[in-house]
Amino acid sequence: MRLRALLDTDALGLKLLGGEDELNRAVRGVMTTDLRDPSRYLSGGELVLTGLAWRRDAADSEPFVRLLVQAGVAALAAGEAELGDVPEDLVVACARHRLPLFAVHESVAFATITEHVVRQVSGERAGDLAAVVDRHRRMMTSGPAGGGPDVVLDLLGSDLDLRAWVLSPTGRLVAGSKAAGPALPADACARLAAEHLSATRSGRRGPHRVILGSTTYSLFPIGSGGRAPRSARDVRETVLSDWLLAVEADAGDWAEERLDLLYGVTQLIAVERDRRDAARTVRRRLAQEVLELVQTGAAPAEIAARLRVAAPVLLPGLGAAPHWQVVVARVDWDGAGTETGPVAQALLEEILVGPPAGSPGGGYAQASGPEHADRIAVAHTGDEAIALVPLPAVSAEHDGSETGVLADALLESVRSPLTAGLDDDGRLTLGVSAAVHSAEGLRGALEEARHARRVAAARPGRVCAAGHQELASHVLLLPFVPDDVRRAFTARLLDPLRDYDRRHRAELIPTLEAFLDCDGSWTRCATRLHLHVNTLRYRVGRIEQLTSRDLSRLEDKLDFFLALRMS
């Protein structure tokens, strides 16, 4: 807005005392101050409001005005509430430095002027930004994007003073504006993603308001069809793949025009996300072709030829014979009647891109380097997603069992957001194979990853993973025990103890678990349970009496251990 517009607004009651020739200056902000030197808080273009508390005598006016001019302010407005008429020495100093000077009548509050200027300036900036965003949208739809979502976020920062970030559903930082400063901490990203997923699953309309510490964020969905409510099925199919825009501001009191502008920005970012998804098409097709060859029992030479084509695309610079790893994921929804493979595919791609910024993580980005973080290839078949992960080759004497993607670390930093997105009717299970160095090993790696996923599926929790290392343990056997056998085995051993606990509140089951966990050590177990050793011996004796077992025998200890694991 221009200074002249301030004079034309009767409600402000401003009186021009000097600087009529400078009234075409643009006003970019407003600041109220009574500091003798406010220059450190000025960036240029402000209308400075002052009550003149800084002025002790006539000699103070000249240095005060000089500092304002050096800071590039647009004009000075002095209030008449304290001193009455504006001092002549201030009028003279402003005239000398060609700084427009207004008098503010005592009946007009500085807050009234501030609100008017901020409203006008924000409206103009929003209009300018909307025009820029529209040009950028047309450019992106007609040709390659120039800089991705970062460019749009920079516009929000420079034109609307909004700090903003784009996050993935797992809490990964996709983009941030330069004005946003340092990247959001990993824990903040994860919490914002979790809050967004939880709000989306509950059907609440965006933007979603979240307070972390003393900071308020507004979360806008990206690619969710605007603010129109979606069906529960649509939400479940997209909630684990949609990005979100996190803005450091409370959008609850925003005007409709500004909200529309932010939703326009999310649509623009959605275009860029669609471009990235399209770029994965080739890698998906390669993975699908290799997977079909492996599952149909094709000759190793044919699979190897396909891998030689895939390797340069998936991970350039590794040479002709990198190592490979297979990751299998499955998403299950209660009562889902449609194929969930595409959902698992999108989610597995996101997880393997890498952990959220700043987190230790253990994903593919850590294994192969950030420059190749988006080079994974994921196919899907039925309800299962299968990732073919290329890895740097390891030495000939090393079997690769400790390289690459690690199951536990893979989900560690994204577990919280994913649990919120799955809510109480969804589940993600994931299995990871060891690294193999030839086409002959891929079929075994695929079966190994599938077995590991079944092990993960046998565990409690919404988000579970298992790696190849666990397949050498007894836990490999448990998922494949038929349900009726499980129930009969555990009932025979544990039901007498449960019945006794229910009648006498004796806590025999917790005592048994602690006793086995302490490897049968009376002293350690008694200390853990805060019991006298004689009390512990009595409880163990009661367990043996009720079950006709002897806890000093290895076979009986093992039976109890397996029964507890399967219960």
Q: What is the pLDDT of residues 76-122, one digit of tens each?
A: 999 887 778 899 999 999 999 999 999 998 888 888 888 788 777 66
* Of the residues 431, 457, 480, the one at which a domain ends: 480
Tell the burial category of 113 from Cβ atoms under 10 Å away from its Cβ (0-12, 13-18, 19+): buried
Boundary-marking domain end, from 480, 512, 535: 480
Has residue 66 got a pLDDT over 90? yes
pLDDT digits (tens, 9 = 90+) for 262-297: 887 887 788 777 777 777 787 788 888 888 888 887
pLDDT of 257 above 80 = no
Spatial separation of the C-alpha atoms in residues 117 and 474, rounded to whole Å: 71
* 334 falls within a domain: yes
Range from 186-190, 236-240, 422-426 that averages highest in pLDDT: 186-190
Q: How far from each other are the two terminal CA atoms of the chain, in whole angstroms? A: 71
- Which of 250, 279, 308 represents a domain boundary (last residue)? 279
Nearest 5°: the CA angle 433, 435, 441 is 85
> What is the pLDDT of the chain when averaged over all its residues?
78
359 confidence band (pLDDT: 50, 70, 90): very low
- What gap in Å lies between CA 290 and CA 385, rounded to an integer? 14
Mean pLDDT, residues 162-173 taken together: 86
* Co-location of 322 and 466 in the same domain: yes
pLDDT band, very low/low/confident/very high, at 534 (cuts 50, 70, 90): very high
Q: Are residues 527 and 448 in the same domain?
A: no
Considering the domain architecture, whether residues 464 and 487 belong to the same structural domain is answered as no
- Whether 360 shows a pLDDT value over 70: the answer reads no
Q: pLDDT tens for residues 428-467?
A: 888 888 888 877 788 888 888 888 888 888 788 888 888 8
User: 339 and 476 share a domain?
Assistant: yes
User: Taking 80 as the threshold, does the pLDDT of residue 483 lie above it?
Assistant: no
The string of pLDDT tens digits covering residues 231-255 is 444 566 666 778 889 999 888 878 7
**Within a domain: 11:** yes
pLDDT over 70 at 396, yes or no: no
133-142, 231-240, 354-363, 510-519: which range is least confident on average? Answer: 354-363
- 410 occurs within a structural domain: yes
CATH classification at residue 61: 3.40.1390.20
3-class DSSP assignment, residue 224: coil
Indicate if 409 and 429 belong to the same structural domain. Answer: yes
Domain count for the chain: 4
Residues 6+ apart with CB under 8 A from 194: 171, 416, 417, 419, 420, 421
CATH number at residue 217: 3.30.450.30
pLDDT of 59 strictly over 50: yes
Report which residue type is found at 220.
F
Residue 116 counted as domain residue: no
Predicted pLDDT of residue 126? 55
139: in domain? no
Q: Are residues 269 and 374 in the same domain?
A: no
Higher pLDDT, 123 or 515: 515
Residues 369 and 456 in one domain: yes
pLDDT at 177 over 80: no
The pTM (predicted TM-score) of the whole model is 0.57
Say whether both 355 and 374 belong to one domain.
Answer: yes
- Domain of residue 527 covers 483-566
9 falls within a domain: yes
pLDDT at 549: 92
- Please state, in angstroms and as integers, the Cα–Cα distance from residue 556 to each residue in 5, 57, 480, following that order: 90, 96, 22
**Same domain membership, residue 462 and residue 337:** yes
My answer on whether 16 and 56 are in the same domain is yes
In terms of average pLDDT, the best of 120-134, 248-262, 359-373 is 248-262
Residues 441 and 491 in one domain: no
Shared domain check, 318 and 229: no
